[in-house]
Every structure is written in structure tokens, then in C-alpha cells.
């Protein structure tokens, strides 16, 4: 059920309108349904909890009450839209740092703190009525007790509540986050994407680490070495061969 609607006309595109729900199956799904209507770019769907939250690679995203679950509707040009999904990790990390968790960015767009995931992003490109849209779904473990997450997730996850003594309300976190995403999106629209990828590279803590990448082609280990112009993670294997990783699962090795 919709419990509120907020407007902020100071924002450029992202978050001028926020639709707040108590519970949804998945904010990404609701956002996609809204694409059937004439809705403004930058509209945000926010839910207090999700009963069918989705993660990348067909995984579920545990979405208990206390966490922050939002989806943002964007209409970028299709050309670099996949890279936009990487870049939105930056404002998420920035918001976490602002509220006291010195998170880093694990490729492609996970926010992690001391190796434990605290936020994730699911960006989906969809055509509706011949127009390309991106639904950028962001899930942040804000006011969640770790034991409310599934047992298999707990060892590799953390929450803002666990890491910071100060209580941070979700609406306050969301307000800051949306300001940051709005800034990023206007830079994305007005700046060459290679400049933004340079920023991303500087914030991506996977660079320089040993990683194990599993893709449809199999598993390989090596050192994460660079971000390619297409946004791929360049991994150098132990024989000096370079590989570009975009899709699959990536483990950062100790
Ligand atoms: C991941 O790391 O696997 C991505 C997680 C994305 C979760 C968010 S929560 C809001 C939005 N709605 C969903 O169903 N998923 C995304």
C-alpha cells in the first residue's frame, strides 16, 4: 500500500517525486509496471520491506523491515547505460561514508565494509513503448539486525546499524542518497563517460586485489588490474593473460 508521496523540486531529475510504500513484492517490479504510464524520469519507488526482493544473477535480496529498498526510473541514452549501473555504486558508497561506514566499492557495484556487503544494486534496462529505460534498484542494509538476514548471507554481510552507534533514519539516508544520485546522473548526462569511469576506477577497491571470477566460460583467478573503456574489469591471470570480466560472480581472495 502506498503510504506517502514526497516532492523535492530542488533536485534536477532524480528524486523529484518519491512514492513510499509499506510493503511491495519488489520495488524494481513496481517501477517497471509504472513504465506503462506516463511517468517522469527520476521517479523513485520506495518500500519499507519487500517480500520478493531480487538481486543480481537471479538471486533473492532479503528485504526485512528496517532496510532501505528503492528503485529509480531513468531514461538514459542506451549507449552507455550498462556503465551507468556501475557508476551509481559511487553515490551509494558516498552516502554510507557520510553516515559513518567507510565502505568501498566492490566490482561491479556492491558496497562493502571490511569485506562484508552492506548494499547492492540491480540495474535493469527495459524497453517500454519503444523508449529505453533503466530501473536502478538499490538495497541498503540500514536499520537491520544481522540476524534478520538469511543464515547463508550473514557471514558476508553487514548493516549500518551494526557498524555505527548513531541511529540513522531511512528517510534521512534516502534524502542524502537521492541528492548524490541526482548529481551523479547529471554528470553522467553532461560529462564524457570515460571521465566518470576514471572516478569509478579510483573508488573501486577490487583493483589491485586477487580475485576469482566465475562466468559462463568457467572459473579463473588473477589480479584485478583495471577498468576497461567498456566498464569491464580487466583481470590479469598468473600467466600474464588479460581477461575482461563483466557478468558472473566475483570473489575477492585474501
Ligand atoms: C545485488 O547485489 O544482488 C543487488 C541487490 C538489489 C536489491 C534492490 S532492493 C530494491 C530493488 N528491488 C529489488 O527487488 N531489488 C533491488
pTM of structure:
0.96
What is the Cα–Cα distance from 218 to 224, expressed in whole angstroms? 17
What is the Cα–Cα distance from 14 to 17, expressed in whole angstroms? 8
pLDDT digits (tens, 9 = 90+) for 96-121: 999 999 999 999 999 999 999 999 99
pLDDT digits (tens, 9 = 90+) for 152-207: 999 999 999 999 988 999 999 999 999 999 999 999 999 999 999 999 999 999 99
What is the Cα–Cα distance from 135 to 43, expressed in whole angstroms? 10
Closest ligand 1 atom, CA of 54?
Answer: 14
- Ligand 1 mutation target, pool 31, 51, 54, 150, most atoms within 8 A of CB: 54
Q: 251: which 3 cell numbers?
A: 570473489
21 in Cβ contact with 46 (< 8 Å): yes
CA of 120 to the centre of ligand 1 (A): 6
Q: 250: which 3 cell numbers?
A: 566475483
What is the Cα–Cα distance from 220 to 223, expressed in whole angstroms? 10
Ligand 1, CB within 6 Å, residue ranges: 26-28, 50, 53-56, 59, 61, 69-71, 110, 120-122, 137-139
Amino acid at each position: 500500500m502506498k503510504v506517502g508521496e514526497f516532492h523535492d523540486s530542488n533536485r534536477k531529475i532524480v528524486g523529484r517525486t518519491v512514492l513510499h510504500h509499506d510493503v511491495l513484492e519488489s520495488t524494481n517490479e513496481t517501477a517497471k509496471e509504472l513504465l506503462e504510464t506516463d511517468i517522469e524520469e527520476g521517479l523513485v519507488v520506495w518500500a519499507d520491506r519487500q517480500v520478493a526482493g531480487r538481486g543480481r544473477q537471479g538471486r533473492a535480496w532479503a528485504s526485512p523491515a528496517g532496510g532501505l529498498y528503492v528503485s529509480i526510473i531513468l531514461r538514459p541514452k542506451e549507449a552507455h547505460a550498462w556503465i551507468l549501473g556501475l557508476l551509481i555504486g559511487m553515490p551509494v558508497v558516498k552516502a554510507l561514508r557520510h553516515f559513518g561506514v567507510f565502505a568501498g566499492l566492490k566490482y561491479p557495484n556492491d558496497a562493502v565494509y571490511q569485506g562484508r556487503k552492506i548494499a547492492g544494486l540491480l540495474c535493469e534496462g527495459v524497453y517500454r513503448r519503444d523508449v529505453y529505460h533503466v530501473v536502478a534498484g538499490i538495497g541498503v542494509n540500514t536499520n537491520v539486525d544481522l540476524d534478520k538476514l538469511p543464515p547463508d548471507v550473514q557471514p558476508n554481510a553487514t548493516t549500518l546499524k551494526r557498524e555505527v552507534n548513531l541511529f540513522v533514519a531511512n528517510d534521512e539516508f534516502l534524502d542524502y542518497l537521492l541528492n548524490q544520485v541526482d548529481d551523479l546522473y547529471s554528470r553522467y548526462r553532461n560529462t564524457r563517460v570515460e571521465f566518470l569511469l576514471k572516478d569509478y576506477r579510483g573508488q573501486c577497491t577490487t583493483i589491485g586485489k586477487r580475485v576469482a571470477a566465475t562466468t559462463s566460460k568457467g572459473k579463473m583467478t588473477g589480479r584485478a588490474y583495471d577498468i576497461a573503456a567498456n566498464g569491464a574489469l580487466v583481470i590479469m591471470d598468473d600467466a600474464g593473460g588479460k581477461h575482461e570480466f563483466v557478468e558472473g560472480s566475483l570473489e575477492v581472495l585474501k
